[in-house]
Each structure stands twice: as C-alpha cells, then as structure tokens.
Amino acid sequence: MKPKLSLKGRGLQYLAQREHSRSELRQKLLRHARAEAAAQQVAAPAASSTHPGTAPTRAAHATHRAESAQLPGSPVQPPPFPEDTVDAILDWLQAHRYLSEERFIESRVHARAARYGNLRIRQELAQHGVTLSAEETRSLKDSELARAREVWRRKFGDPPADAAERARQMRFLGGRGFSPEVIRRVVQGGSGADDD
C-alpha cells in the first residue's frame, strides 16, 4: 500500500504536473486538509471544551491553544485549522519558488493565446486571482488581430456571404473573447492583412 502523501507532498505533486495559481492550489489542498481534519476529529476522543454537537470556532481553538500552552503537562494541543495549515504550506512553496504566479500567468497565456482573445484570457486569469502585467497586456493587445485572424481562418476561411453568416462569425469570435474592434476588422477584412 502506497504511503499517504502529506499536504506539502500533494502540493509539490500538483505543481510537478503543471503550474497553478495560489488560489487554485489552495482550493485543492484545502479539500484534503479538511478531509484529514474531519478524520482526525472522528478518531480523536470526545474530550472537547465545546458543548456536544457544536462545531468549535476558530476563536475557541485559539483560546484553547493559548490556555493549554500555559499549563504544565497540558494535553496535546488541537491541530491548527486546515486553512492555516494550507496557507503556511503555500507560503513555503512560494518562498522556495515551487509556486510562482508569474510562471502560472506565462503558462496560461501561452496555452490560451492561440485560441482566445484578450478579454477571455484576462477573465480566466481574474478567476485565479491574478492579473497581467502592463508589458504582458501590451504584448497580447499587439498580437490580438493576428491571433483572431488565425482563429477565424481555421474555423471559416471564407468571408461571410450574407448578414446572417457575418453575425455568426462575429458571435463565434466574440465567444472566444476577442474585442469588438478586432472582430469587426477580421470579419470585414477576411484573412487579408491590408487593413493593419
């Protein structure tokens, strides 16, 4: 039977597979940390300073830890909250450069830029709690027209024959997160490069 991975080991394993944002990795590790904490509560004796059937609060844990630390020969302190444990692991991973939001942004932009527009890329990064630098924003803006033309060329290739087809092509590019101005230039200009 394989030995159970520690939370730090899980974090390193996730990061070995691909780059993660701090918020994404935090969510993944919190699931495991909460499951472990719940399992420990079930396994631990029912000795608790709270009333039966009530969940201890963070303040109650902190008070209990402070009181226990002052008593000689006091019982084992309760484990820290899963959130505190996970945040400490994330801090360690960042301090040792295993977790890097800059690398995450770079890898996400690299993976998405060929298929999606700036609006979609920025929205996805915002969901991960990160934003593009001014230089990355400028670089994406400068390449958006060419990227949109390539996406359009692969999907359609021919200029729209009528208004309905034009609207369909524009909706498609809009759904990919390209800006309205870029969409207009691509659909009206087809694959030509003379309107740069």
pLDDT, tens only, 41-76: 887 655 454 454 444 555 444 444 444 444 445 455
Of 174, 111, 186, the C-alpha closest to 146 is: 186
Residue type, 11: G
When mean pLDDT is compared across 19-23, 65-69, 98-102, 108-112, the lowest value belongs to: 65-69
**pLDDT at 85 > cutoff 60:** yes
Q: Give the C-alpha separation, 112 to 184, whole Å.
A: 21
Assigned domain for 157 exists? no
| pLDDT at site 154 | 96
pLDDT band at 121 (very low <50, low <70, confident <90, very high): very high
Average pLDDT over residues 111-131: 95
Higher pLDDT, residue 1 or 161? 161
Of 185, 106, 174, the C-alpha closest to 149 is: 185
To the question of pTM greater than 0.75 for the whole model, the response is no
The mean pLDDT value of the chain amounts to 84
CB within 8 Å of 59: residues ≥ 6 apart: none
pLDDT band at 173 (very low <50, low <70, confident <90, very high): very high
Assigned domain for 34 exists? yes
Residue type, 158: D
Give the Cβ contact number of residue 167 at 10 Å: 12
Assigned domain for 54 exists? no
The total of structural domains in the chain comes to 1
Assigned domain for 94 exists? yes
Residue type, 90: L
**pLDDT at 12 > cutoff 70:** yes
Structural domain span for residue 31: 1-42+79-99
DSSP string, 128-176: TT----HHHHHHHHHHHHHHHHHHHHHHT-S--SSHHHHHHHHHHHHHT
Average pLDDT over residues 118-133: 95
Contact between 33 and 84 under an 8 Å Cβ cutoff? The reply is no
Assigned domain for 36 exists? yes
Fill in the DSSP letter of residue 137: H
For tokens 């996406």, name the residue.
151
Q: Give the C-alpha separation, 194 to 196, whole Å.
A: 6
Q: Give the C-alpha separation, 87 to 30, whole Å.
A: 9
Higher pLDDT, residue 153 or 37? 153
Return the structure tokens found at 147: 């990227």
Q: How far is CA 159 from the centre of its chain?
A: 37
Assigned domain for 68 exists? no
Average pLDDT over residues 107-128: 95
When mean pLDDT is compared across 20-24, 54-58, 92-96, 113-117, the lowest value belongs to: 54-58
CA atoms within 13 A on the CB side of 156: 23
Assigned domain for 5 exists? yes
Assigned domain for 24 exists? yes
For tokens 């608790």, name the residue.
48
| pLDDT at site 108 | 95
| pLDDT at site 56 | 52
